[in-house]
């Protein structure tokens, strides 16, 4: 594919299920393309749902990304200057209102502290046992603390993560009602990475998205949307793929999204390299 009329200036990729293989390793082909982008002066951006700490666990300093859009766009990190350049948390008042609402519904949820400390969280365990909640809790228990008994938090927060049964119609109805009740927020649907059939409902400030995080980088550096490429694998990549001009969904993504974007191989077959390689040969 020829892009002589619109030279590529920025490439943004999701991590899990997209840039990374299933075992969280990076293929040699992906790494080589990443270096090639740098040699051509094309910016390389991670756009991930992971927090910054968990992103750095799988993207070491020798993996040459320029920016990290983390926590689905709640923060942006400049890898070269090693500093946080953007953050967007939920304010204290709305955090308390949502927490009270979810506790009142007896739901299982985690509430992540403000960026950049959002690898730490509070949790609320509902009265109905939920294996998905417990499995997630087991992964994060060292950074989790129970909500105060009076549920008074007195803090901003990055996001809520609510474990929702895999009933799509119920989820959509709840999402619509929730966003009407709390217009300051955005509800994002995410497939459970634990592969247990639950829907994860992530609640952010209304301006937070991977797409807006990448747009912030573009606006800061005066890069036009027409010169951007994005690649993702799931529902929480929608804002990213709707923002970038050339947008790819990997083969292992949801079938219903494949009709909306360009296609590329799976994350196990160096999808990132294959998508980007078409534009820099």
- Indicate the range of 40-49, 102-111, 185-194, 258-267 predicted with least confidence: 185-194
* CATH of residue 267: 3.40.50.1000
- Distance from the first to the final alpha carbon of the chain: 9
Cα–Cα distance for residue pair 50/116, rounded to 1 Å: 12
Q: What is the pLDDT of residue 1?
A: 42
82 and 213 both lie in a single domain = yes
Choose the final residue of a domain: 186, 205, 224: 205
Q: What is the pLDDT of residue 6?
A: 63
197 and 159 both lie in a single domain = yes
Kindly state whether residue 2 falls inside one of the protein's structural domains: no
Average pLDDT, the chain: 91
- Indicate the range of 100-114, 127-141, 173-187, 205-219 predicted with least confidence: 127-141
* CATH of residue 191: 3.30.1240.10
Kindly state whether residue 135 falls inside one of the protein's structural domains: yes
Residues 132-144, mean pLDDT to the nearest whole number: 81
Q: What is the pLDDT of residue 203?
A: 95
216 and 126 both lie in a single domain = no
Give the chain's domain count: 2
CA torsion angle for 255, 260, 263, 265 (degrees, to 10)?
-40
33 and 21 both lie in a single domain = yes
Report CA-CA distances (Å) from 51 to 74, 76, 269. 9, 10, 25
Choose the final residue of a domain: 154, 174, 205: 205
| Tens of pLDDT, residues 170-227 | 889 999 999 999 999 999 887 666 656 788 889 999 999 999 999 999 999 999 999 9
For residue 142, name the pLDDT band (cuts at 50, 70, 90): confident
Choose the final residue of a domain: 205, 236, 256: 205
Among residues 188, 187, 190, 182, which one has the least CA distance to residue 166? Answer: 190
Give the domain extent around 246: 10-88+209-280
Q: What is the pLDDT of residue 143?
A: 87
**Residue 75 — φ and ψ, nearest 5°?**
-150, 155
84 and 132 both lie in a single domain = no
**Residue 161: strand, helix, or coil:** strand
218 and 79 both lie in a single domain = yes
Cα–Cα distance for residue pair 40/31, rounded to 1 Å: 15
Could you check whether the bond before residue 116 is cis, i.e. omega within 30 degrees of 0? yes
Residues 126-134, mean pLDDT to the nearest whole number: 84
């Amino acid at each position: 594919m020829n892009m002589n009329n619109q030279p590529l200036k920025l490439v943004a990729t999701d991590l899990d299920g997209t840039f990374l293989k299933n075992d969280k390793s990076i293929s040699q082909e992906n790494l080589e393309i990443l270096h090639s982008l740098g040699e051509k002066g094309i910016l390389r951006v991670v756009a991930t749902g992971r927090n910054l700490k968990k992103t750095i666990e799988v993207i070491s300093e020798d993996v040459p990304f320029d920016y990290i859009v983390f926590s689905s766009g709640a923060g942006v990190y400049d890898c070269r200057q090693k500093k946080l350049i953007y953050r967007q948390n939920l304010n204290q008042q709305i955090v308390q209102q949502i927490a009270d609402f979810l506790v009142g519904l007896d739901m299982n949820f985690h509430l992540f502290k403000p960026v950049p400390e959002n690898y730490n969280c509070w949790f609320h365990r509902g009265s109905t046992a939920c294996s998905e909640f417990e499995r997630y809790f087991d992964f994060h228990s060292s950074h989790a603390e129970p909500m105060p008994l009076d549920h008074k938090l007195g803090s901003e927060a990055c996001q809520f993560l609510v474990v929702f049964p895999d009933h799509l119609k119920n989820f959509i109805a709840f999402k619509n009602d929730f966003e009407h009740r709390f217009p300051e927020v955005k509800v994002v649907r995410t497939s459970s990475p634990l592969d247990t059939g639950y829907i994860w409902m992530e609640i952010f400030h209304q301006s937070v998205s991977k797409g807006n995080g990448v747009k912030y980088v573009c606006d800061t550096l005066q890069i036009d949307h027409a010169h951007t490429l994005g690649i993702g694998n799931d529902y929480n990549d929608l804002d990213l793929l709707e923002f970038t001009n050339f947008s790819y969904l990997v083969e292992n993504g949801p079938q219903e999204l494949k009709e909306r974007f360009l296609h590329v191989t799976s994350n196990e077959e160096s999808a990132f390299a294959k998508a980007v390689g078409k534009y820099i040969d």
